[in-house]
Amino acid sequence: MQDEIAIKVSNLSKRYGENLILENINLEIKRGSIVCIAGGSGSGKSTLLRQIIGLEEPTSGEIYIEDQKFYPSKSKESERIKKSFGVMFQMGGLIASMTLRENIELLLRTYTNLTDAQMSEIVRIKLTSVGLQGFEDFIPSEISGGMKKRASLARAMTIDPEILFFDEPSSGLDPITASSLDYLIKQLNKTLKTTMVIVTHDLESIFDIADEVFLLDTQSHTIIANGKPDVLKKSDIQIVYNFFNRKF
Amino acid sequence: MKKEKSNNCEIKLERSDKAVTCYFTGDFIFSNSKFINSYNLKKELKGAKSLSIDFTNLLKYDSFLVSWLNVVNSYCKNKNIEFKILNISDEANQFYDFLNFQNIKEPKLKEKKSLSVAFFESFGDLIKRLISDGINFLNFLGDNLKSFSKVFWSPGSIRWEDFPNQFILIGINAVPISVLILFLIGLITGYQGALLLKDFGADIYIADAVGVSLTRELSPLMVAIIVAGRSGSAFTAEIGSMKVSEEIDALKTMGFNIQDFLVMPRMISMIISLPIIVMLANIVGILGGLVASIGTLDITMTGYFNRMQVALDFNDILSGLIKAVIFGFVIALIGCFRGMQVSGGAESVGKYTTSSVVTSIFHIILIDAVFTILFPILGI
């Protein structure tokens, strides 16, 4: 695999029983880029994400992350690769019984040998970077939906992963919060050089932040177009044109 | 010069007079935190007036570098040691600044309170919560009594489709564990009673002891406790989860009455099934007493049952069944009420499920005590 490729998916298919969800997916994501996986409802965007991050096993195909075979591979190997990425889930996925500090420290205690003072510093830095300084001792139910998403992003960034995955980051957020999250994603990408993979159908976000978009089609269950959002907006393929121009 | 080395990083320390310079070579990353933290910099800083960290040979870095520098910097500030970072690359410097100084939104900070203020505040909150809990419970009770009256005046408004399912879950599924426990309780009561009565030559009165204690007290009480733990908690968890996933809000907006739709089927099933389980438990408990009596005393099965007929009157059984009906009402009421109190997420469901079981058991025992005093006065 070439050096600049962070994620490579080859011939990936996914079925639930007889139900075909994804067919023959092939994609390559460049290191340090912001990539959106887009598509209509039910096109399998989140299912594709779940395969890439190892929450589900594909029916067939191969996944490479940071030059290493992630699927199929031995569980020990895939567990090691999992440390190189972070995930921000749609509903946050924060552990409800823990404070934001404890949610972030959980990773640090498990994977590093930091002192308590250093851990506190990391918690402060990460929460500050998402605009949540001072909320260290709040539990998730005490903060709003947008804040939960940002806290989830802070947790995903805890040990500086090389890749960050986002599942519908702007869903359920007001335009200002959604746009501040987009700004944050861009800043983090620019400064920390983290590869960002975003599953979304929010066109505004796509045009705002994406370097490249992969469009999944509900009918054919596969990627029907990829490229820069501005180019796809002028696509000759009717479905692609319709999607990026909000036509039906 | 002092030197420490690991696979991909190295720390060298130079001390001249009161100035300490730390040369760092290699990767300053999370995976090297064990090695870097094992280096006791504080010891080296004793008596020093300045500390310089030289990053000329820094290769890789991540947030660990920032946290380490911040902690060392704050230590130096406390000890009046001048702190300097030397020869750091522009890129690493930009990374350090980005993590340290960016703030995308003005935060809302939690107020820091003194311990005494926090204590009185939490005590006040507790009282406020208890009062509002009580008012909410009375509201809920009132709504339910109103819905309950509909069973007689307009039975069509209750969601009867849910009733068979609830009856199976609460009633039939609870029978095996309830009768097993009551058989063992009958056995224990019989055995303990036999030891005492044998000394007085009053063997035959074992039937009185087992029969009356089981039908009046033990059966309704034990069955109620089992059902509160099993079904009361299930009511809370089920309704709580529905609340978290906004199903209850959806039902409300669709014009459904939550009491009629969710609470009544559970409450009616509970009120009907509990006395039935108690009756079965009475029978099995008496059989448990029989096994203990035959095994330890000189009495026959016929003798045991003949005496049981004399000892037990209708009021003994009736009082147990009245308690069962009331207990059923209370368990369903508390289970559903706690479910409706759930808010937030999964944690809240767990909290109120526990609270539902504790509150139900407390009220069952409290009501049992009241009835124990009240029934003789009423002649039951």
Find the CATH number of the domain harbouring B88.
Answer: 3.30.750.24
Question: Chain A residue with minimal CA distance to B33?
Answer: A113
Residue B111 exposed, middle or buried by CB count within 10 Å (0-12, 13-18, 19+): exposed
B186 and B320 together in one domain: yes
In the listed set B44, B78, B101, which residue is the last one of a domain according to the structure?
A: B101
- For residue A227, list its beta bridge partners: A213
Establish if B189 belongs to a structural domain.
yes
Establish if B183 belongs to a structural domain.
yes
CB contact under 8 A, A133 and B102: no
In B287-346, the residues whose Cβ lies within 8 Å of chain A are 343-346
Establish if B9 belongs to a structural domain.
yes
Establish if B271 belongs to a structural domain.
yes
Q: How far apart (Å, rounded) are the C-alpha atoms in residues B37 and B40?
A: 7
B167 and B288 together in one domain: yes
Instruction: Assess contact for B18 and B51: CB atoms under 8 A.
Output: no
The three-state secondary structure class of A123 is helix
Give me the pLDDT at residue B111, please.
Answer: 61
- ipTM value for the complex: 0.76
Name the amino acid, one letter, at B323: K
- B137-169 residue pLDDT tens: 999 999 889 888 887 887 777 777 778 888 888
Question: Chain A residue with minimal CA distance to B109?
Answer: A134
B62 and B155 together in one domain: no
The answer on pLDDT for B107 being more than 50 is: no
Provide the number of CB pairs (under 8 Å) joining chain A to chain B: 94
Q: How far apart (Å, rounded) are the C-alpha atoms in residues B121 and A89?
A: 36
Helix (H) or strand (E) holding A16: strand A5-16
Give me the pLDDT at residue A115, please.
Answer: 92
Helix, strand, coil abundance in chain B, percent, nearest 5: 75, 10, 15
The answer on pLDDT for B299 being more than 70 is: yes
Q: Which of A203-217, A231-245, B32-46, B297-311 has the lowest mean pLDDT?
A: B32-46
Site from A101, A107, A112, A182 to mutate, B interface, most B CB atoms within 10 angstroms: A112
- For residue B11, list its beta bridge partners: B4, B24
CB contact under 8 A, B109 and A121: no
B245 touches chain A (CB under 8 A): no
B69 and B194 together in one domain: no
Q: Which residues of B touch A160 (CB under 8 A)?
A: 29-30, 62-63
Averaged pLDDT for residues A83-104: 86
B348 touches chain A (CB under 8 A): yes
CB contact under 8 A, B95 and A191: yes
Question: Chain B residue with minimal CA distance to A162?
Answer: B62
Of residues A197 and A90, the one with the higher pLDDT is A197
Structural domains in chain B (count): 2
User: How far does B345 lie from chain A, in Å, by closest CA?
Assistant: 7
- Sort strands A85-88 and B82-86 into parallel, antiparallel or unpaired: unpaired
- For residue A29, list its beta bridge partners: A7
- Give the one of A115, A125, A130 whose C-beta lies nearest to B37's C-beta: A115
B230 and B286 together in one domain: yes
Establish if B132 belongs to a structural domain.
no
Residue A88 tokens, joined = 């921000």
B100 touches chain A (CB under 8 A): yes
Q: Which residues of A touch B99 (CB under 8 A)?
A: 125, 128-129
B65 and B162 together in one domain: no
The answer on pLDDT for A52 being more than 90 is: yes
Whole-number mean pLDDT of chain B?
87
B80 touches chain A (CB under 8 A): no
Give me the pLDDT at residue B110, please.
Answer: 54
Establish if B56 belongs to a structural domain.
yes
B90 and B158 together in one domain: no
Q: Which residues of A touch B71 (CB under 8 A)?
A: 115, 117-118, 121
- Tracing tokens 């009770």 back to the chain, one arrives at B141
B297 and B228 together in one domain: yes
In the listed set B101, B125, B154, which residue is the last one of a domain according to the structure?
A: B101
Site from B42, B68, B91, B102 to mutate, A interface, most A CB atoms within 10 angstroms: B102
Contacts with B45 (C-beta within 8 Å, 6 or more apart), sequence order: B20, B51, B75, B76, B79, B81
Most confident of A29-43, A94-108, B22-36: A29-43
- Tracing tokens 């087992």 back to the chain, one arrives at B210
The answer on pLDDT for B330 being more than 60 is: yes
Q: Which residues of B touch A115 (CB under 8 A)?
A: 37, 71
B206 and B264 together in one domain: yes
Handedness of CA A114, A119, A122, A126 (dihedral sign): positive
Cis amide linkage into residue A58, ω under 30° from 0: no
- Give the one of A112, A126, A187 whose C-beta lies nearest to B33's C-beta: A112
Torsion, CA A30, CA A32, CA A34, CA A35, rounded to 10: 20
Establish if B268 belongs to a structural domain.
yes
User: How far does B145 lie from chain A, in Å, by closest CA?
Assistant: 33
- Give the one of A130, A132, A141 whose C-beta lies nearest to B347's C-beta: A141
B73 touches chain A (CB under 8 A): no
In the listed set B71, B101, B131, which residue is the last one of a domain according to the structure?
A: B101
B156 and B239 together in one domain: yes
B171 and B90 together in one domain: no
Establish if B200 belongs to a structural domain.
yes
B96 and B159 together in one domain: no
Give me the pLDDT at residue B367, please.
Answer: 95
Give me the pLDDT at residue A196, please.
Answer: 95
Give me the pLDDT at residue A24, please.
Answer: 93
Residue span of the structural domain in which B69 resides: 2-101
